[in-house]
Amino acid sequence: MAADNTSSVTEFILTGLTNQPGLQLPLFFLFLGFYMVTVLGNLGLITLIGLNSHLHTPMYFFLFNLSFIDFSYSSAIIPKMLMSFVSKKNIISYTGCMTQLFFFCFFVVSESFILSAMAYDRYVAICKPLLYMVTMSPQVCLFLLVGVYGMGALAALAHTGNILFLTFCADNLVNHYMCDILPLLELSCNSSYMNNLVVFAVVAIDIGVPIVAIFLSYGFILSSIFHISSTEGRSKAFSTCSSHIIAVCLFFGSGTFAYLKPPSAVPLDQGKVCTVFYTIVVPMLNPLIYSLRNKDVKLAMKKALGRITSS
């Protein structure tokens, strides 16, 4: 019985991260720990920003959304991944697979564009400080956010639509812990050069455009910093950007390596490791990077903890 007009496969089996029995249970607890830190860190940051009025600024508006995105796309992946460590056959329906693929693409692309919006925010704050509140008005912030989620939706539709047109004849064993683009393309019996070209073109736009925007922003930021006469002023300017630079390097570094190399150059097992990094490790590290390196967040945390202990 067909799942739709183009496929005779109604379900897929996910191989998971490893097929070594001795590693299954340790990896289950390791990734469960990662997920708990991710959920607590991102929901904690969302709550902290939401409840503290002095954090209701453009910078924290984007950070709020970054935490929401990190929480959402790790939640679209990790619970299913955890099942692969404890079940003999990790089965996902055709519809469930396409749904996971859509939300994974939506949130991961939204993350790349929210990071570029945050770079623009830092550019305005450092290069045009007197015009900051006018330039980064609530209307502009909302416009940028609509652009972020709009690009995420377009990319998700392009990637999911591309996969929906493929035929999966008999083999339904996906060599991954989730429904990712490249393993599904490899599994299809009619995957063509055009399908691969669509993936490469969409990913190149979704990584290339934000990276160019980030590089331009930081080019202007560095130019402004070098014109600051005092060492203290330079140090303060650098410190406001350091958390964002770390987050950008972690996310785009692993994402570029996983998708912008030819499949023959990166074996799927190696690609899985890269995917683990930016789908699981980066969402866990982001709230830690931003909270441990940010005075305002640390101050808000101290106040919140003080209120809890005194009550």
Q: Which numeric CATH code is attached to 11-306?
A: 1.20.1070.10
Q: What is the pLDDT of residues 47-94, one digit of tens each?
A: 999 988 888 899 999 999 999 999 998 999 999 899 888 887 889 999
Query: Which stretch, 168-172, 201-205, 240-244, has highest mean pLDDT?
Result: 201-205
Among 55-64, 74-83, 226-235, 253-262, the range scoring the smallest mean pLDDT is 253-262
Is the predicted pLDDT of residue 2 greater than 80, yes or no?
no
Q: Which residue has the higher pLDDT, 250 or 69?
A: 69
Cα(69)–Cα(138) distance, integer angstroms: 20
Q: Where are the alpha helices (DSSP H) in 165-267?
A: 181-187, 193-226, 231-259
Q: What is the pLDDT, as a whole number, of residue 53? A: 83
pLDDT the model gives residue 111: 94
Provide the residue ranges of all domains of the chain, joining segments of one domain with +.
11-306
Residue 279 DSSP label: I
Could you count the other beta carbons within 10 Å of the beta carbon of residue 269?
A: 12
Short-list 81, 78, 76, CA closest to 103:
76
Q: Can you give the pLDDT at residue 149? A: 97
Give Cβ neighbours of residue 50 (< 8 Å, ≥ 6 apart).
64
**pLDDT for the residue numbered 132:** 93
| Whether residue 301 has pLDDT greater than 60 | yes
Record the pTM: 0.88
Interval 276-282 mean pLDDT: 86
d(CA 81, CA 73): 13
